Structure 1
Amino acid sequence: MRVEVKDVMTTQVASVNGSTPFKDVAEVLITHGVSALPVVDGEGHVIGVVSEADLLRKEEFRERYYREGYQPPLRARLRHRLSQEGAGGGGKAHGDTAAQLMTAPAVTIGPRVSIVSAMRLMEEHGVKRLPVVDDDGLLEGIISRHDLLKVFVRRDADIADEIREEILRRTLWEQPNDAVATVAQGIVTLTGRMHRRSDAQLAARMAGRVNGVVDVVDKLEWDQDDTPVWRGR
């Protein structure tokens, strides 16, 4: 079963609009216990994301600009110097609304995208959550790292049923087989016998791709070894 973003995303999404004041943005973040919020326009299109980091930057740089002789902590100075945003960080320090504080354009994802792609996108951009938008860019939900972990808490019985019905019992093999799948704590153990070694290897690989599988222990036996033999010189 291919799990998509829509299957695990949160549909009740806290968001703010571009004119939301700094303090109100902070209040929404605290009230909902989230680290970032989508910023939407009047029609619900996602135009950016405002995060705790964006708000903290305002406090971090405030003393730099407003207190004579103040020297920020080394970490703050290095971050300011090395940041690709450069002056953009200082600009956010002066921001008073979500539109001035947010990061834009937002990194978003569609509802029919696989959760594997969502994981990769989060890793690529270094974010913990992604606004989910439709084809017109309208906000439909949000998916977080916590949501992605839901696929790993499937019941062992459900995982075992899927492997038996979708992999071992389907007519993928030329010969019948007596392979058996058992699952404990997300770890699949394959036992029994299949006609060809390549069939057994394929069954193990397919089982490893089932959502919720943590690992596969392959104890399958076979009648015919049809795997190519490598011959070195």
Structure 2
Amino acid sequence: MIKIDEAMKKDVITINKDDTITEAAKKLTENDISGAPVMDGDNIVGILSEGDIMDLLEVHSPNLNLILPSPLDLLEMPLRMKHEYDEVANGIKKASLTIVKDIMVSPVITIKIDKDIADAANIMADNNIKRIPVVDDTGNLIGIITRGDIVKALVNHKAE
């Protein structure tokens, strides 16, 4: 069986619990990752994903009847669209001021390094998650394993 330490990433990008969502989103984007452990000093206190950030943004669609618009619909359309635009802009502004600790998933599910990737895959499936921080016996963060890491390990293992 393939052990976690053979498949995990050891250089873990982390996010501080007191970062703003804007700072966290920038870190995710710059490192081309979709989620990261959230830290309070040396302690893992949560996990943040792009999905958590997206949930902050309430997207509204204008309710327009464009098949056979009435003359009033045509007159009101610019006002409705302006209102919708203002709501989206306010939602983005509110999201950018939010702090990571307010939306992170906590407590975080972790896995120990001595487990194998089947254990990680089962935990991911059972909890509908895409990444698991890897910890040592004292709970210190030493890596992270994602669904992609598991797939890659399986492919590389078959090729050997």
Q: TM-score, normalised by structure 2?
A: 0.72
Match of 1:59 among 35, 45, 57: 57
Match of 1:229 in 2: none
List gaps (5 residues or longer) in structure 2: 61-82, 85-94
Query: Which of the pair has the greater relative contact order for Cα pairs under 8 Å at 6+ separation?
Result: 2
Match of 1:129 in 2: 131
- Contact kept, 8 Å, 2:131 with 2:147, in 1: the verdict is yes
SS at match of 1:60: coil
Query: Residue type matched to 1:34 in 2?
Result: I
> Comparing both structures, which one devotes a greater share of its residues to helix?
2
User: 1:153 offset after TM fit, Å?
Assistant: 2.2
Q: Which has the larger radius of gyration?
A: 1
Question: What is the distance in 2 between the residues matched to 1:60 and 1:33?
Answer: 24
Query: Residue type matched to 2:25 in 1?
Result: A
Match of 1:88 in 2: none
Match of 2:34 in 1: 35
Change (3 A) 1:108 1:61: farther
Match of 2:77 in 1: none
- Contact kept, 8 Å, 2:34 with 2:50, in 1: the verdict is yes
Match of 1:182 in 2: none
Q: How many residues align?
A: 129
Alpha-carbon deviations, 1:103-148, whole Å to 9, x = none? 1001111111111111000001111111111222211110011111
Question: What is the distance in 2 between the residues matched to 1:110 and 1:147?
Answer: 16
Change (3 A) 1:155 1:58: closer
Match of 2:155 in 1: 152
Match of 2:103 among 101, 106, 126: 101
Query: Residue type matched to 1:11 in 2?
Result: K
Alpha-carbon deviations, 1:41-62, whole Å to 9, x = none? 11x2211001111111111279
Query: Residue type matched to 1:19 in 2?
Result: D
Alpha-carbon deviations, 1:203-226, whole Å to 9, x = none? xxxxxxxxxxxxxxxxxxxxxxxx
- Contact kept, 8 Å, 1:95 with 1:101, in 2: the verdict is no
User: 1:154 offset after TM fit, Å?
Assistant: 3.0
Question: What is the distance in 2 between the residues matched to 1:46 and 1:61?
Answer: 31
Match of 2:76 in 1: none
Structural mapping, 1:158-177, within 5 Å:
158=160
Match of 1:47 in 2: 45
Query: Residue type matched to 1:117 in 2?
Result: D
Question: What is the distance in 2 between the residues matched to 1:108 and 1:61?
Answer: 32
Structure 1 stretches (4+) deviating beyond 2 angstroms? 151-156
Alpha-carbon deviations, 1:141-162, whole Å to 9, x = none? 1001111122222365x4xxxx
Alpha-carbon deviations, 1:32-81, whole Å to 9, x = none? 11111100111x2211001111111111279xxxxxx86xxxxxxxxxxx
Q: Percent identity at matched positions?
A: 29
Q: TM-score, normalised by structure 1?
A: 0.51
